[in-house]
Each structure stands twice: as C-alpha cells, then as structure tokens.
Structure 1
Amino acid sequence: MLIGSAAAGLAVAGGGLAVTARATAREARIEAAYPPEGDILDVGGVPVHAVVRGTGPDLVMIHGASGNAREFTFDLIARLSGRYRCIAFDRPGLGYTGRTDPTYDAAFSSAAETPAEQATLLAAAYGQIGEGAPLVLGHSFGGTVALAWALDHAARGLVLLAPAAMRWQGGLGPLYALNASAPGGALAIPMMTALVPDSKLDEITRRIFAPNPVPAGYLDHIGGQLTLRRRSLRANARQVNGLKPHITHMQARYASDLTLPIEWLHGTVDTIVPPAVHAGPFQKLVPHTNLTMLDGVGHMPQHAAPEAVVAAVDRLARA
C-alpha cells in the first residue's frame, strides 16, 4: 500500500513537472513571437509597457480584459496619430506590464489589482512621458480603469468604449470563479497555459466580436496568446472576477466627482457588457455624458465602427 501510494505521488509530481515544463516552453515561444512594441518604463520598480506614436494632444489608451496594447496598434492608433500623441499602455499583469504588488503574482492566491490601483500605476507612468491632463480612452475593462483614472487623477476628458461601469446582477460564470480562486491559480492555470490550443483563442475572439466579423489580420497581430501565460491568466481572472465590489464603490462617486467631458460609445447588440445595464444607467447618473449607440455593433466598436470612435475623440478634444 505504501509503495502504491508513493508511486501515485511520484506520478502526480511527474505530471506536474511535465505541465510546468510545457507551459514554460510555450510562454517563451509566445514572447518571442509577440515582443513589446514600445518602451518599458520603470514606475517605482514596476515595469510598464507604453507604446507612444504620433504628435498632438496626449491621448492615453487602455485595453480591456485579456488584451494588451496591440488592441490599439492594429488600426485605431494609425487613424489618430496624425493629430494626437497616442499612448497605449499594457494593464498590470497583461502584455508586458508588471504587478502593482508582488504578492498578486503568487500562484496560490486570489488577490489582484483594483481598478484604482491600475489607474494609479498608469497615471504615474504617464507622468514620466507626458504633462498635464490627457484625454483618456478605455475599452471594456479598460473603460473601468479610465473611469478610476478620472475619479482620482487629472484627465481632460474620457472616451469610453463599451465600458463596465455599473453594478450588475449575478456572477461571471464558473470558469472565471475557478481560475480566480487560489486552487485554480495554482493548479488549473498551468494546465491551460500548457494545453489550450490557439484555435480555442480564435474561437473566443470571434465570440467577443459577434455579430461583427474579426478584421483580416487581427488574430495574427493581437498576440492573444500573451494572455495564455500563467501570470496573465491569473491576473485577468482575478481582476475580472473581483471587479463588482470595486465598481459598486466607484458608482457611488460618479454623480459628484465626474465633471469632465465624457464620450461613451456602445454597440446596441453588445452581449458582453450589455448597454441596458451600463450605458443607460450611467447616463442617468452623469447626464452630461454624450452617449452614442451604434446600431448592429457588438463589443468591439473600435473595430466595427472606428470612424465613430475617431469622431468621438475629436469631439472630446474640442470640448
């Protein structure tokens, strides 16, 4: 019996080592295929990846869940860099930006950066390369961080693309709950890094874009595999799964603290961040928000309706 138990233990350990080795090798291949496109800033010991392109008024750009700065370098920055200095950041734990607290990187944990912590880090990074109050654009979870930026730091105005801004009913499903848990972070995440095929990422991306098509070349450019790294999977799951209480706290401040100009764009058929839950109720709290509903657009307005996004940035710059 003891021999059998020992053999089983060795088999489990061997399997764990094999998963770790496979995950490590895959992460190395991913980072070789999708290196940083910008500079790595040292912000109080935390590396922050910033892509800076163009000239003109500063426009900070913050990507959503599971993303990175390539979300904007695919197309939107090229549309704006002729008259704006575009600064696209990787959020903490994603792309090539580090964590605001090293304890967040622990495998057996469920803690992660709040939107306020993320905004503070990125605002400090901006302070190294910019001056004054920038325009701030955020998509989805990046819109939440943009709102946190405006609540606590200087901003000239906000462009919000399908942001999560209001408290919602229910949870986010069992997969987020598992991956965000301490056991999930230690055990399930390495398995995902080692074994989830790229085709699964493509399938998920198509669901995020639905009902709009994924633009040609997007899947090759975006580097979605960067999110399959263990650090990024843990960061993303923990940040998203723990978001609701932070949004509840932020929501209580919107009416009194958000006096800056706000442009909000939302697809009418967005099922990931439903506009009926977020856009309409937010505008009731902050009536000066200029809300643009995009007919037939899903969760990716920067790709499905880029001209509308550019027009919103231009309106904000004139405000």
Structure 2
Amino acid sequence: MTLRILAASAALIGIGMMAGTTGRMAARDQAALASHPPSGEFVLVEGRRVHLQVAGEGPDLVLIHGANGNLREFTFAMMDQLSDRYRVIAVDRPGLGYSDALPEDEASVAAQAQVLRQAVAQVGAQNPVVLGQSYGGTVALAWALQAPPAALVLVSSPSLPWPGELDIWYRITASAVGRIAILPLASAFVSHSYVRRAIDGVFAPQHVPEGYADHLGIDLILRKSSMATNAMQINGLRPQVEKMQQDYPRLTLPIELVHGDADTIVPLHIHSKPLSQMIANAALTVLEGAGHMPHHTHPEAVIAAIDRAALRAGLR
C-alpha cells in the first residue's frame, strides 16, 4: 500500500509540474504577443506566413537576422540608418519571430533561403542586396548559391566547418530527451535576467546598447516554438556548410564580409578569412577588437560595406 501511495503521489507531482510548465509557457507566449506584436506585414509562401517589415525607398536591401533573433534585430537602429537611400526589407526567418516554421526535415538553410526569396519577391524585391548576420549570413550564402542576388553582405557569419563541439545547451537539445523535457522547462522558467546576461556575452567585448534587449523581445526568444526551432537549426548547421563550401568558388557576385577579430562565437580565422580567399569577388573588412555584433557596435563599418556592395553591383 505504501508503494502505491508513493507512486500515486509522484504521479500527481509530475502532473502538477507539467501543468505548471504548460501554464508558464502559455503565459510567456501571451506576454510576447502583448508586448511585441507583429510590427510588419505577412505574405504567404506555399501556405505558410512570412513576417517582414519594409521601410524606405531606393535599391532593395534584404536583412536576415541570426540565431535566437527576429527582424527586430534590425528595427532597433539599422533600418532607420539605411531607409534614407534603400528600400529595406527585414524578415523573420522561418520558425522565428512571427514567421511560420518549416517542417523539421525541410528546415535547412537552403529551404529557408528559398522561402525568403519568394517572400521578398511578393513585395517587389527582384534583385536585392542581401545582408545576413551570423546564422542569417549562412542563409544568405545559400540564397546566392540558388539564385544570386545583386550582392551579399555577410556580417560575422558562419560559412565553413568548425572544430570541436557546440556548447552544452545545443548538445542537450540535440537529443530527444532534451527536446521533450529540457526545452519546455527552459521556455517556462528561464528568467529575463539570465537572457540579458547571455546577450551581454554575445556582444562582448563591447557593451549591449541601452534598450536593445527590451526592443528585441526576451519573451519572443523564450517561446518554446522559437527555442525548439533555433536549437534544431544550430544543431543541423555544420553538415550543411560542409556541403556548401565546395560550391563557394563558383560565386561571382560582389560579396562584402565584415567580421570582428575579437568574435569568439563565430571566429574570424575559421570563417570569413578563409572564405574571402575562396571567392574571387569577396572583400573582407576586419574590425579590430570587435565582437560578434558589429552592426550595432560598429554600424558605420557595416553601412559602408552595404554601400560598397550596392555600388559594386551597379545599384548606386
């Protein structure tokens, strides 16, 4: 009888924890929608919504955000700095922000690029300059391998296989147990202060601009659907760049690479530096002492690279 009572008690506790986790996740989703609702418009690509925001006039410039992000990465400051001379189109990558996710077996960088190409075409972009930051740069490279845009600007972007393993979070969430058990708990109970510390690490050795985390939307990042999509995308990235690298030398469009030499998340010597030597039409700008987020910490260098790319493409 005692064992039965213990088993029943454990089951009740487990059910209570699951209910509490589900409730916290639902509350977080509601908080994200209330505090950071969609800021742009939606287009449909093969029945799935893609969220994008358009501002300005001039040559088309598409902005693709990195991991754990959304288009608010660029509406914080960069769109305002560019919309005086470009028609800027910031996009939520599939499964992040307010864009619908792709099926897990169809969520490659190539599939994301294809969806985004079709999405921006629906708002009139036919031959844009495409900027990708971090993971978004890999999506931009996949775009160029499919159907070259006018030019690429790659900011702190992974492009080649890296040695070693991903950090512990991604190793945990690569497993079925991690996806089923750990992701919901993290979505429900990770604090805003923890995320702010993580953002500090992404910006290091520079400081996070005041108001950045609030603008980006911490509750948007912590939604279970977003966390699951991000984990899946990062865990599946290295095999994709291993295959993509053999095709890089055939790229002939203008490519501007911007990378900080203090970037420890996507190291310069593993990614942009060797990539610049593989592609004849690539130009590399190395920012001394800069970390992973130069579009915020060194915006003048990134904007200059955009202008050079547009000029080289004959758009300016």
TM-score by length of 1: 0.94
Question: 2: CA distance between counterparts of 1:247 and 1:185?
Answer: 24
SS of structure 1 residue aligned to 2:292: coil
**Kindly, what percent of the aligned residue pairs are identical?**
46
> Which of 212, 219, 243 lines up with 2:237 in the alignment?
243
Deviation at 1:282, TM superposition (A): 0.6
Question: 2: CA distance between counterparts of 1:155 and 1:147?
Answer: 10
- Work out whether 1:286 is the aligned partner of 2:288: no
- Work out whether 1:269 is the aligned partner of 2:262: yes
Q: How does 1:102-113 map to 2 (within 5 A)?
A: 104=104, 113=107
> Which of 7, 10, 16 lines up with 1:8 in the alignment?
10
- Work out whether 1:189 is the aligned partner of 2:183: yes
Q: How does 1:136-147 map to 2 (within 5 A)?
A: 136-147=130-141
Deviation at 1:17, TM superposition (A): 1.2
Query: Which deviates more from structure 2 when the two are superposed, residues 50-59 or residues 40-49?
Result: 40-49
Deviation at 1:287, TM superposition (A): 3.0
CA deviation profile, 1:213-246 (whole Å, cap 9, x unmatched): 1112212211132110000000001100110000
CA deviation profile, 1:64-100 (whole Å, cap 9, x unmatched): 0001101101111111101100000001111001112
> Which of 71, 74, 90 lines up with 2:73 in the alignment?
71
SS of structure 2 residue aligned to 1:16: helix
Deviation at 1:112, TM superposition (A): 6.5
SS of structure 2 residue aligned to 1:234: helix
SS of structure 1 residue aligned to 2:94: coil
Aligned to 2:224: 230
Question: 2: CA distance between counterparts of 1:114 and 1:317?
Answer: 28
Aligned to 1:148: 142
Deviation at 1:180, TM superposition (A): 3.1
The 8 Å contact of residues 148 and 253 in structure 2, kept in 1 or not, is answered as no
> Which of 77, 83, 103 lines up with 1:81 in the alignment?
83
Q: How does 1:23-38 map to 2 (within 5 A)?
A: 23-38=25-40
Question: 2: CA distance between counterparts of 1:97 and 1:224?
Answer: 17
Deviation at 1:155, TM superposition (A): 0.5
Provide structure 1 residue ranges, at least 5 long, that are not aligned to the other structure.
105-110
SS of structure 2 residue aligned to 1:190: helix
The 8 Å contact of residues 28 and 219 in structure 2, kept in 1 or not, is answered as no
The 8 Å contact of residues 180 and 234 in structure 1, kept in 2 or not, is answered as no
The 8 Å contact of residues 31 and 219 in structure 2, kept in 1 or not, is answered as no
SS of structure 2 residue aligned to 1:60: strand
SS of structure 2 residue aligned to 1:79: helix
SS of structure 2 residue aligned to 1:66: coil
Counterpart of 2:204, as a letter, is A
Computed over aligned residues only, the root mean square deviation of the Cα atoms, in angstroms, reads 1.2
> Which of 262, 284, 296 lines up with 2:289 in the alignment?
296
Aligned to 1:202: 196
Aligned to 1:22: 24
The 8 Å contact of residues 273 and 299 in structure 1, kept in 2 or not, is answered as yes
- Deviating beyond 4 angstroms after TM superposition, the runs of 4 or more aligned structure 1 residues are none
Question: 2: CA distance between counterparts of 1:87 and 1:61?
Answer: 6
Question: 1: CA distance between counterparts of 2:106 and 2:156?
Answer: 22
Aligned to 1:312: 305
SS of structure 1 residue aligned to 2:289: coil
Counterpart of 1:144, as a letter, is T
The 8 Å contact of residues 112 and 239 in structure 1, kept in 2 or not, is answered as no
Q: Using a 3 Å threshold, how does the CA distance of structure 1 residues 112 and 192 change in structure 2: closer, same or farther?
A: farther
Counterpart of 1:172, as a letter, is L
Counterpart of 1:21, as a letter, is G
CA deviation profile, 1:263-300 (whole Å, cap 9, x unmatched): 00000100000000001111121132110001111000
Counterpart of 2:7, as a letter, is S
